[in-house]
Amino acid sequence: MKYIVANWKAHKTLEESQGWLKVFLQKMNASNEVLQNLEYDKLQIIIAPPLPFLQPILEKIHGYKNVCLAAQNISDKDDGSFTGEVTAHILAGLVRYALVGHSERRSIYAEGKEIIELKIQQAKKYNIEPILCIRNKQDHEDNNAQFVAYEPVEAIGTGNNYSIENVQEFKTSLELPSDNVFLYGGSVDSQNAPLYLREGDVQGLLVGSSSLDPDEFFKIIVSV
């Protein structure tokens, strides 16, 4: 199985997100290869839109096997008096995954290992699979999850994707258990996606900028 995640970050209006989905689903429905990959568990498409669009998107993807949603973030708290927080309990039933520890959360919102650990625990408590984003080995030593997304800071949003050799070397250094799922993210686009996907070491991609355009994102999907 290859996992391809679209991380829209703080982009798109409701109307734009619906337009994206319309184009994307049209392309998907027209591709027997993609539909078969989904059907036979070779491909899983995970869309991480802004939180308010989870429900409307869920209604449209309902019924497609292996097309599902992720939260870009999750609260470290359980339900309670936490104005503005969106807890794992609230998200349960909407999302299958949650990104945890994205480098933007770590650097802009000062999220450290204790908060990240609480988020991982909250996600698991409500049967949401945390995707732990790590910038380096230290981040992985501090926290752990079955899904690990390696996103070197220098590669995020810069156009300087890490070479497959560097990514493979990094993965080897982590000594992951065999049931772990290792993703790469950082300036992935339709040109470089096949380089990662044809190597067995990388089981998926976390795509930011290139996921905003449904045509470009679909090209990445096709390369699985």
Residues designated catalytic: 102, 151
Instruction: Work out how close the CB of 83 gets to ligand PGA at its nearest, in angstroms, rounded to a whole number.
Output: 27
Q: Which of 45, 209, 214, 220 binds ligand PGA (CB under 6 A)?
A: 209
The verdict on 73 binding ligand PGA (CB under 6 A) reads no
| CA gap 158, 175 in Å, rounded | 28
User: Which residue, 55 or 160, has its beta carbon nearer to ligand PGA?
Assistant: 160
Residue 75, token pair as written in the block: 């609260």
Interface with ligand PGA includes 188 (CB under 6 A)? Answer: yes
- Does residue number 72 form part of the binding site for ligand PGA (CB under 6 A)? no
Geometric angle at alpha carbon 166, from 162 and 168, rounded to 5°: 115
Site string (156-175) toward ligand PGA, x via CB under 6 A = xx------------------
Looking at 21, 68, 183, 207, which residue binds ligand PGA (CB under 6 A)? 207
Containing H/E element for 172?
A: helix 164-174
Closest chain position to ligand PGA (CB) = 208
- 70 is a contact residue toward ligand PGA (CB under 6 A): no
185 near ligand PGA (CB under 6 A): yes
Considering only 101, 130, 152, 208, the residue that binds ligand PGA (CB under 6 A) is 208
- Distances from the Cα of 203 to the Cα of 24, 98, 199, angstroms: 22, 17, 8
> What is the β-pairing status of strands 204-207 and 67-71?
unpaired
Measured torsion, CA atoms of residues 193, 194, 200, 206, in degrees rounded to the nearest 10: 10
- The reply to whether 202 sits near ligand PGA by the rule CB under 6 A is no
- In the bound complex, what is the minimum distance in angstroms from residue 178's beta carbon to ligand PGA? 25
220 near ligand PGA, judged by CB under 6 A: no
For tokens 């998907």, what's the residue?
28
Nearer to ligand PGA, 127 or 136 (CB): 136
Long-range contacts of 75-78 (CB under 8 A, 24+ apart): 75/119, 75/122, 76/115, 76/118, 76/119, 76/122, 77/118, 77/122, 78/122, 78/125
Alpha helices by DSSP H, 175-213: 193-197
Query: Where does this chain bind ligand PGA (CB under 6 A)?
Result: 7, 151, 156-157, 185-188, 206-210
